[in-house]
Chains A and B, each alone.
Chain A
């Protein structure tokens, strides 16, 4: 059984707002020396793939990244937790790709890799917060999809997943091949790699593709092919002022807080 986990290498979403800046002309986040990480929801997807591999024989996991050269770090991380293979579609610096473009590139690559049984994506990436690529990719590959899953097993060649929705959990079944997008749960926090495996991961080969290799033309992804156009990117206005409740010790602070909440008729 072949699983492809689609991943994105992004500006660390944990970066505090106080350190976050924008380059207005480029309409981009200022990168500076900030860390880039594997998108957290992709970590959840990768962990679910690894757990399936532990339970089932003959599972092959391919980690796939579309990104600039430095995105290789996320692939090394995946190899470190024992993904079997790593594939890097190298994005030219400054090459902007919207969700459609990304889905198109990933689809071309997955078709080049060959028959795949299960495609897993994080539910959204913590930079553009759009949550579109997974579903667009399913359409591009003409596959069924299930979004926001947090549990997965294979029963008699069929996929059984749990999908978190408002008010409960749906248990769904699907034939293979299928695409799923993954949401966070206690059960899918990515494991920590063993030091030895991390060392080995740095010597493992990474299969590289350019857009040209995949027969995707840059003009497909730029202006005439783009479905979204970014007009502006700005920092939200912070006009909130927090009143820090002062007092000698906890008791006084509690009293002061309750007095204020009462005065404002909140309690």
Chain B
């Protein structure tokens, strides 16, 4: 009888590190932090997967500094720009070599599309949009915590092992960066498939942008359905400008065509966690709250005292925003000058 010691084989947690503009995203470091938090109870090492163009290897030391112990690097000119089919091919190869027990992705646009496809190919269990991971005491079972029903409830689930998991941004703490940490680099040499057809990138249209970026903002002023129109949305932009803040919106304002989709904060928009989030005319649908509830201070301005946004806010003003915003802008200006 053969005894298969699964523990010995599955000794790693692998983290797929997304890149944007030639850099590993901050969320990648969060995922490494999430993996590090499990290391002790699972007796695992943390491996990072870096797939990209020729220069991708230059990120190795940065990943080590954030807690990657092994780094699987596949650098090839055909791996940039990102194409899911190519990255899946490489990931599958790495998976077969390493046989990790967990494969973590960030729930960003690439991770969300790669994770389920990868899980299917390797016959893994999958759970998405997790906000916390824990290990059931006395076992090595990883319990996945994820919001469901737009954040109105939390589900705890276990996926079939090996597990593929996507992690929501800004829910996990990266390790403190330590440049003295070192990692083993494992070059991955894979014959890439000839893909003459399939999905091809024709063009990347960069977001036209003036002002402060949502993801980087310390203050965000956001407007929702209650704003009432595209022209009225200017009041939000003006207050934001005065506060040196970024402009956000709820899904309703995007669907109404008042602002472009890149302004959307929420579960399927941007996940933000500024010091101050001013929600104006936003009712506070759960799916919006899921994108901003990590803010340090939330101020809600809404004329409906029963709006759910007040349940999430620290300070609330029950009033028509039109009566508040002009005065608020003037006084903020005085305050900051």
Contact = CB atoms under 8 A, between A and B. Distances in A.
Given A139-B116, A166-B108, A168-B206, A227 B156 contact: no
Contact of A253 (B126, B202, B267, B317): B317
Interface residues of A, number: 86
Interface of A: 11, 13-18, 20, 22, 29, 41, 99-100, 103, 123-124, 126-132, 134-136, 138-140, 144-148, 150, 160, 162-175, 178, 183-186, 189, 226-236, 238, 240, 242-245, 250-251, 253-255, 257-258, 260-262, 264, 266-267
A232 B128 contact: no
A44 B330 CA distance: 40
A7 to B, nearest CB: 17
A132 B62 CA distance: 31
20 contacts: A123-B268, A129-B147, A129-B287, A131-B112, A135-B113, A135-B120, A147-B113, A148-B109, A168-B205, A171-B202, A174-B198, A174-B199, A184-B261, A228-B157, A230-B156, A236-B151, A242-B313, A243-B314, A244-B310, A258-B335
Contacts of B146: 129-130
B276 A261 contact: yes
Interface of B: 20-21, 25, 84-85, 108-110, 112-113, 115-117, 119-121, 124-129, 143, 146-160, 197-207, 215, 251, 254-257, 261-262, 264, 267-268, 275-276, 285-287, 296-297, 299-300, 305, 308, 310-319, 323-324, 327-328, 331-332, 335-336
A150 B261 contact: yes
A167 B199 CA distance: 20
B116 A231 contact: no
A219 to B, nearest CB: 16
A100 B115 CA distance: 13
Nearest to B300: A242
Contacts of B160: 226-229
A4 B154 CA distance: 32
A250 B301 CA distance: 11
Contacts of A20: 149, 152-153
